[in-house]
């Protein structure tokens, strides 16, 4: 079967959905009977782009100032998509985001979460408008909907009134670059960033209100001053919409060097940053899956996280859970991981075992089975 996968998101630096598209497409190409064509926005190809589109951030920033930018971009992409389809005998179209392009054939879409429903205030108004224009109709058009977790599958069925058989859970996987590493092997990369392996905490995720980073910042600020100075909180991620809300909370900690905001980092550097952390703090209010949690566990690093949405499905018994609005609880969890080596080792061991339950090969196998079901075989 020939499948068209919309991989346009790979024009941008890879965050959650970009990582999904890249890893899934690689794993699908190993599945027997799946012939994959990637739509890259302006062109088609069989190979993943090795890097984001040059100047993507500047172009995206300019586009936000243009009235109707989302609709203009969609119109241009639809034209390019249609031209490519004329030269291909595509059996099925897979859309990994909220607004599929038009396609006169079977369509499968992935709904990673319902952030636009639960936290509409975290979306720019023009983007939210486009989501509301397209997503309902898209779900009606789709012969099957994939989700990353049971939690989101239940939400999708209830919100859109879908029967159980139209929604399939395909849990995400973990890239091979996330594995435990000797601290000595991390010295060069971490040294260039002013860090020491085992002597920092890390948060990973786009800077936006839903990620609830203020909880981690306040918990870190409550640590004893002597510990806090030698245990910086490292924040890694793309600036998101309303990221400026963090500024007031960050100012004092940034000025004293207690918090380091590293921004977006390459896949290779992120893997080393995770492996060198004492713990991952993941205070998110809502997640469709939570890839950094899985990646941290696979790296042999304990995770302190909230027990919201899908996160317990990913972390299982390996997670150190705290309430989403209780910085003192997170501070206590951090202190225990710092001071109790046997507890840290236990969390590490549980996390490594939990991570084994997830793989991109499994995700691709479930996904290709859905393709076959939709195509009647």
For the chain, list the domains and their CATH numbers.
2-173+359-374 (3.40.50.2000), 183-355 (3.40.50.2000)
Which pLDDT value is given to residue 238? 72
Which pLDDT value is given to residue 245? 57
- What the block records as the tokens of 144 is 């099957």
Q: What is the pLDDT of residues 149-199, one digit of tens each?
A: 999 999 999 999 999 999 999 999 999 999 999 999 999 999 999 999 999
Which pLDDT value is given to residue 210? 75
Which pLDDT value is given to residue 235? 93
Which pLDDT value is given to residue 71? 81
User: Do 374 and 108 touch, CB atoms closer than 8 A?
Assistant: yes
Distance, first Cα to last Cα, the chain: 10
Which contiguous run of DSSP H or E holds residue 351?
helix 341-355
Strands 279-282 and 201-204: parallel
Of 169, 149, 190, residue with least CA distance to 291:
149
Q: If you ran DSSP here, which 8-state letter would residue 278 be given?
A: S
Of 109, 87, 108, residue with least CA distance to 98:
109
pTM to 2 decimal places = 0.91
Which pLDDT value is given to residue 64? 58
Which residues of the chain register pLDDT less than 50? 242-243
Which pLDDT value is given to residue 65? 60
Which pLDDT value is given to residue 42? 85
């Amino acid at each position: 079967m020939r499948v068209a996968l919309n991989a346009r998101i790979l024009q941008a630096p890879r965050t959650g959905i970009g990582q999904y598209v890249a890893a899934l497409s690689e794993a699908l190409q190993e599945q027997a009977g799946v012939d994959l064509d990637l739509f890259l926005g302006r062109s088609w190809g069989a190979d993943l782009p090795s890097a984001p589109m040059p100047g993507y951030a500047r172009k995206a920033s300019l586009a936000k100032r243009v009235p109707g930018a989302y609709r203009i971009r969609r119109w241009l992409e639809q034209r390019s998509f249609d031209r490519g389809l004329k030269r291909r005998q595509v059996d099925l179209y897979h859309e990994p985001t909220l607004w599929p392009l038009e396609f006169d054939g079977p369509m499968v879409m992935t709904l990673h979460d319902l952030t636009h429903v639960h936290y509409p205030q975290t979306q720019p108004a023009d983007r939210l408008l486009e989501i509301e224009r397209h997503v309902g109709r898209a779900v009606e058009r789709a012969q099957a909907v994939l989700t990353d977790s049971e939690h989101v599958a239940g939400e999708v069925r209830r919100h859109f009134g879908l029967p159980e058989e139209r929604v399939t859970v395909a849990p995400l996987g973990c890239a091979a670059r996330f594995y435990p590493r000797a601290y000595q092997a991390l010295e060069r990369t971490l040294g260039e960033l002013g860090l020491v392996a085992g002597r920092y905490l890390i948060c990973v995720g786009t800077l936006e209100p839903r990620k609830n980073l203020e909880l981690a910042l306040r918990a870190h600020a409550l640590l004893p001053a002597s510990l806090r100075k030698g245990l910086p909180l490292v924040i890694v991620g793309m600036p998101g919409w309303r990221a400026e809300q963090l500024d007031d909370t960050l100012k004092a900690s940034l000025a004293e060097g207690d918090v380091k905001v590293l921004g977006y980092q390459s896949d290779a550097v992120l893997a080393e940053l995770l492996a060198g952390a004492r713990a991952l703090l993941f205070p998110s209010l809502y997640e469709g899956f939570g890839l950094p949690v899985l990646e941290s566990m696979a790296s042999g690093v304990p995770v302190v996280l909230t027990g919201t949405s899908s996160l317990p499905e990913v972390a299982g018994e390996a997670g150190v859970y705290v309430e989403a609005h209780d910085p003192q609880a997170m501070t206590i969890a951090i202190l225990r991981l710092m001071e109790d080596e046997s507890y840290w080792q236990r969390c590490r061991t549980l996390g490594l075992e939990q991570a084994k339950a997830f793989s991109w090969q499994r995700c691709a196998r479930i996904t290709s089975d859905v393709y076959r079901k939709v195509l009647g075989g």
